[in-house]
Amino acid sequence: MKHFIAIIGLFIGLGLLLNGCDSSLSTNNSELNTTAGESQTKVLGAQAYIQGNVVTVTENDLGPSERPEGFGEEGYEAPEYKWYTPTHGDNPLNTEGATFGFDAGPDNPETFGNGSFLFDVPAGERSWILTDQYGTGEWHGEPDAKKGTRLDEITTLAYSTFISNELSDGSLQTATVVPSMQIMAQDSEGNFLPLIFDPQGNTLTGEWQRWNAIESAGWRTEDWASCEFDDGSTWSQVTEACEDAKVLWAIGIAAGTWPNQDFHGYTDLLTVGVDGEETTYDFEVSPATKQDCKRGGWQGFDFRNQGQCIRFVNTGKDSR
């Protein structure tokens, strides 16, 4: 019960005031680039910047959005899922007014891969995509089922966003906000520690931007958190101030809850590096039937050929 109460407290406490960024990368250069503190990246496939090992994530990788039956009770077994878009509880991370999920868009020649994760969030609402594989198991598993990744072991945090030129109703969208990176951590004493990265600087619409949350300033926490550092801190300042802290529940990308502005956009290529070992998570849509793979349809799902696409439909195994 105390864990459930703590989670509800998290939902209430996390504010998602989102701004711009200072480390975008050109999508037109096929050579290695380093821009405004960005770590090294390279073009792969459809103008996609990839770092480290690449793991494709689709809707098939999502765990249940509601609490599993028996959650928190003795003998409860954690599910195998690593990704979530939670809608459970009195204060859900994804609210009813938000539209979210894996999408084939945006319709742009510089799309990273052939899919991404969509955020269509009205003013005052919110939406998330998150992974609990770096945490302790607290999110949908047993507390302390895993050790949880120490913050000072995290060496790469990066993600990409695309802010649409128009909102879902067709009206013009101005680039004043951008999805944030959020880490649900805990301090050395076991107290909950929310960490929010709000990119600072120039934000653009109609093109992809890459945000480096390790080398760029922009981290903050809530006033009530026991670990204190200034708003707009760098990651090194966070880890110095929050000694021995670790990931408790999850690492995710969030959009929404600012009071007066709707948002329509996408995120992709979440990169997490631990002790220099990087993994980039590529959000993609999935074919539902064999017919989706035929007549060239496999190309739209980023498969190498039709057979690979059909094997995915038949077995659920993704070898892209």
Residue 259 banded pLDDT, cuts 50, 70, 90: low
Tokens of 171: 């009206």
Mean pLDDT lowest for which of 128-132, 139-143, 201-205, 208-212?
Answer: 139-143
Mean pLDDT lowest for which of 2-16, 82-96, 168-182, 283-297?
Answer: 2-16
* CA 303 – CA 230 distance, rounded (Å): 45
Evaluate if residue 17 carries a pLDDT over 60.
no
pLDDT at 208: 85
pLDDT at 114: 67
Of residues 215 and 109, the one with the higher pLDDT is: 215
pLDDT > 70 in the chain, percent = 78
Evaluate if residue 202 carries a pLDDT over 90.
no
- DSSP-derived letter for residue 233 is B
Mean pLDDT on 263-283: 93
5's CB contacts (< 8 A; 6+ apart) are none
pLDDT at 27: 32
Helix (H) or strand (E) holding 2: helix 2-13
Q: CB burial class (10 A; 0-12, 13-18, 19+) of residue 25? A: buried
Of residues 233 and 137, the one with the higher pLDDT is: 233
In Å, what is the CA distance from 266 to each residue of 1, 2, 141? 35, 34, 28
HSE value, Cβ hemisphere, 13 Å, CA-based, for 187: 16
Q: Are 74 and 257 in contact (CB under 8 A)?
A: no
Mean pLDDT on 203-232: 91
Output the average pLDDT for the chain: 79
pLDDT at 58: 86
pLDDT at 107: 65
Helix (H) or strand (E) holding 6: helix 2-13
pLDDT in tens, 22-81: 333 323 322 323 333 333 333 333 345 677 888 889 888 888 777 777 776 777 776 778
Evaluate if residue 19 carries a pLDDT over 70.
no
Of residues 94 and 210, the one with the higher pLDDT is: 210
* CA 269 – CA 91 distance, rounded (Å): 27
pLDDT in tens, 113-141: 568 999 998 888 888 999 999 999 887 77
Evaluate if residue 204 carries a pLDDT over 90.
no
Helix (H) or strand (E) holding 54: strand 53-57
C-beta neighbour count of 231 within 10 angstroms: 11
Radius of gyration of the chain (CA): 19
pLDDT at 100: 87
pLDDT at 105: 77
Residue 296 banded pLDDT, cuts 50, 70, 90: confident
Of residues 70 and 110, the one with the higher pLDDT is: 70
Evaluate if residue 231 carries a pLDDT over 90.
yes
CA end-to-end span of the chain, whole Å? 41
